[in-house]
Structure 1
Amino acid sequence: MERRKIVQWTTGKVGKMALRAIFDDPRLELVGVFAHSADKVGVDAGAICGRPDCGVRATDDVEALVALSPDTVIYTPFMADLEHLVRLLASGSDVISTNLLNNLGGVEGEVRERLEAACAQGGSSLYITGINPGWLDTLAATATAICRRVDSVMVTESVSVAHYESVETWLAVGMSLPEATAEVLQSARVALISFRDSVVRIAEALEFELDEVEFLVEYATAAEDINLGWFRIAKGSHAALRGGWDGKVDGRTVVRQRVIWYMTRALNEGWEIDEHNYLVDVDGEPGIALRVAVTVPQDWSHLEHAIVTALPAVSAVFEVNAAPPGILGLRGAGLVAAPAGIWQGAERQADRS
């Protein structure tokens, strides 16, 4: 079995889950880890992600990692670094990123030019899988293959966020606040900017040339006082939001992305909230309605929910390695799927030994 040499770039929540996935795939060999935090430098990668020591220690030495000549770098930092990306791609390593490069202004203009030049120099590829629900973009685009007419595609994430204990996150999008001021709306726009990429990527895959991508958000208010232990919402304050982006052609929305996040279903506005986590609706001939419920074990920790972001990146290694050099869109990486048979074969091998 031909193995691929992998470097994991940063070890936050998503990075830890990516490390575990790399360990679990016998086709992949972890050769290096980049540590953003100084306290992780020198720590064994196994210990970082809750696995047995593996002999690979994290480092903040970029050139030492480049010298390892990894086939692929799984890139999961909170903030993207253009110089790091250019160096990795120019050295010949493919980069699969969960980060959308929003802090760099996205993959546009001079950023795109530098990344494309680095790919050309190294004969490498950059593929961005995105954050949750980035994996749903491919599903939405693929679903349209049975259509002879597509008027619009809508992707929705509908989920209770009452378990996500991050006061800063929810204040940033306007939760628990009494009204949607201009400042609140701007803060929500910034917080939801990552979901804009979903619209652009689907539109590109369907060969829509967008004229504009418009942001929209609205709120529903709590019908009663809410006390989650870690977060309080007074009756009449924001307890749910519905927001996202509309990609338009000639003033008509052709790709729409929405998140519906709610702390409670007891809302004054009486919103009907679908119990499914992810929805794909295609208005066309024929029309399509996909309802995707992600069911997780009850003993999953909060950390393990990052699997939804990490695994699409790790599972794409071989497809990206086989793709032509350059910045890849949804079509560029081909069909990315879990190597389930290989995992099972590895488990059987371990049982026999």
Structure 2
Amino acid sequence: MRKRIVLWGTGFVGKLVLAEIFRHPGFELVGVGVSDPAKVGRDAGELCGLAPVGVLATDDLNTLIALRPDAVVHYGPTAAHAEENIRVIGAFLSAGIDVCSTAMTPWVWPAMKQNPPSWIDPITEACAAGGASCFTTGIDPGFANDLFPMTLMGLCGEVHSVRAQEILDYSAYEGDYETEMGIGRPPEFQALLEIPDILIMSWGATVPMMAHAAGIELDEITTTWEKWVTDRPVKTAKGVVEPGHVAAIHFTIDGRLSGRTRIQLEHVNRVGPDSAPDWPRGTADDVYRVEIDGSPSIVQETAFRFTDGSGRDAATAGCLATGLRALNAVPAVNALPPGWVTALDLPLIPGKGTIR
């Protein structure tokens, strides 16, 4: 039986997933929610560049709730818009409709102490009121640094340390990396994520998750931050990073126990493949790596690509994988008891219906 789906949010990720739902045998799109008034009344097919399908977008939550879908796949804005995300997600949960989302990445591990109660309590109450479940995922934070490393840790007799890396070129990225990361800004500019508490809350949720899964309690979580300044212009999709400005950042989020880093998230984010030449690289461009020092030691490298001739880049492929992780999790989330859902609660999600 196909799962009846409402998709909320037709931004970059939402539009990618819409195109996949239409041809997926396991899901039926019954509604589309949008926050942009200009999209209200438009056909879902047209919103993702396809022929009309007869499902019109709306911003009316009650209309979507009345459809009684099996789940909402929610591709709303980031945690910078927490109040709006909580309003929308909470409304569906209170009505008894499960939600699988990619928006509030600190919810990848709701037990993280950096999550403010005002972000957690309303969703806990909504789940209880409606008897519904809420699952949040992503790529990083998300499956690249929770599902992947935790699965590999299960192949070890002992793990001395585990590192999950994101190594990406942001040249084609059009989001806000200037304010959040400081890329394109003078080196003296302090980016939002450069502030340790904000970095841990925004991108570090999987560190305490992995510690919990391994049965340990970390002594502390610390961070490091480095900048690389270009001496020549670097062209990007957003313009040019001028000489003397930051063209790469390198940060870590470190879960420490007994004076040692045992769990580490590491990011190397560049604009331009030649930037920061001495910093870590994968065996190919734009990869996610897991490195486990243990018995045995393990290295896994994952690359997301399109091979359909569309010319779409690796970042777009990763965004699609992010959205589809939430969609493909719907049947499993439907089968779980009400409440918060994390990667630790889910069974294997093999992608039923994907081979066809």
Q: TM-score range by the shorter chain?
A: 0.7 to 0.9
Choose 194-203 or 31-40, whichever is displaced more: 194-203
Instruction: In structure 1, list runs of 5 or more residues that go unmatched.
Output: 346-353
Greater mean deviation of Cα atoms: 92-101 or 38-47? 92-101
Structure-1 residue corresponding to 2:99:
95
Partner of 1:85: 89
Provide Cα deviations, 1:23-65, integer angstroms capped at 9, x if missing partner: 2221211111111100111111111112222221111111111
The answer on 1:299 being equivalent to 2:303 is no
1:51 corresponds to: 50
Distance 2:303 2:88 in 1: 37
Query: Is 1:164–2:193 an aligned residue pair?
Result: no
Matched, 1:280 2:264: no
Q: 2:206 aligns with which of 198, 202, 207?
A: 198
Instruction: In structure 2, give the amino acid aligned to 1:299.
Output: S
Q: TM-score, normalised by structure 1?
A: 0.85
Distance 1:296 1:229 in 2: 19
Instruction: Give the distance between the partners of 1:143 and 1:289, measured in 2 at CA.
Output: 9
Q: What's the CA shift string for 1:60-111, capped at 9, x where partnerless?
A: 1111111211111101111342132222112111110101255999755343
Between 122-131 and 90-99, the greater mean CA deviation after superposition: 122-131
Compare the two structures and name the one with the higher helix fraction. 1
Rounded to whole Å, the distance in 1 between the matches of 2:16 and 2:141 is 16
2:332 match:
319
Work out whether residues 241 and 247 of structure 2, in 8 Å CA contact, stay in contact via their aligned partners in 1: yes
Shift of 1:141: 0.7
Q: CA offset at residue 265 of structure 1?
A: 4.5
Q: 1:312 to 1:159 in 2, by over 3 A?
A: same
CA distance in 2, matches of 1:39, 1:219: 39
1:111 maps to which residue?
A: 119
1:191–1:11 CA distance, 2 compared to 1 (3 A): farther
The amino acid of 1:17's aligned partner reads L
8 Å Cα contact 2:249/2:268 also seen in 1: yes
Quick one: distance in 1 between partners of 2:57 and 2:205?
A: 31
CA–CA separation in structure 2 for the residues paired with 1:213 and 1:154:
14
Q: CA deviation at 1:131?
A: 4.4
Does residue 184 in structure 1 map to residue 194 in structure 2? no
Name the residue aligned to 1:138: 147
Written as runs of structure 1 = structure 2, the 5 A alignment for 1:9-28 is 9-28=8-27
Query: Residues 123 and 300 from structure 1, CA distance in 2 versus in 1: closer, same or farther, beyond 3 angstroms?
Result: farther
Distance 1:323 1:213 in 2: 31
Q: How far 1:209 sits from its partner (Å)?
A: 2.7
Deviation at 1:337, TM superposition (A): 2.7
RMSD: 2.8
Determine helix, strand or coil for the equivalent of 2:46: helix
Deviation at 1:257, TM superposition (A): 0.8
Structure 2: 5+ residue stretches without partners: none
The residue number in structure 2 matching 1:70 is 69
Q: Distance in 2 between matches of 1:186 and 1:40?
A: 31
How many positions carry a matched residue from both structures? 339
Q: Which deviations, in whole Å up to 9, do the C-alpha atoms of 1:262-304 show, x marking residues without a partner?
A: 1235457733422440110112222211122223235244694
Distance 2:92 2:222 in 1: 34
Equivalent runs, 1:249-268 vs 2, <5 Å: 249-267=257-275
1:204-219 matches, cutoff 5 A = 204-219=212-227
Residue pair 2:252, 2:265 contacting (<8 A) in 1 also: yes
Asked if structure 2 preserves the Cα contact closer than 8 Å seen for 1:223 and 1:266, the reply is no
Question: TM-score of the superposition, structure 2-length normalised?
Answer: 0.84
Secondary structure at the residue paired with 1:24? coil
Partner of 1:209, secondary structure, is: coil
Deviation track 1:144-166 (CA, whole Å, cap 9, x = no partner) reads 11112223221101122222245
Conserved 8 A contact 1:7-1:74: yes
- Identity over aligned residues, as a percent? 31
**Counterpart secondary structure, 1:146:** coil
- Residue matched to 1:155: 164
Q: What amino acid is the match of 2:214?
A: L
**What is the CA deviation profile of residues 104-148 of structure 1, one whole-angstrom value per residue up to 9, with x for unaligned ones?**
997553432332232223222111112446221201111111112
* Distance in 2, Cα, partners of 1:268 & 1:32: 45
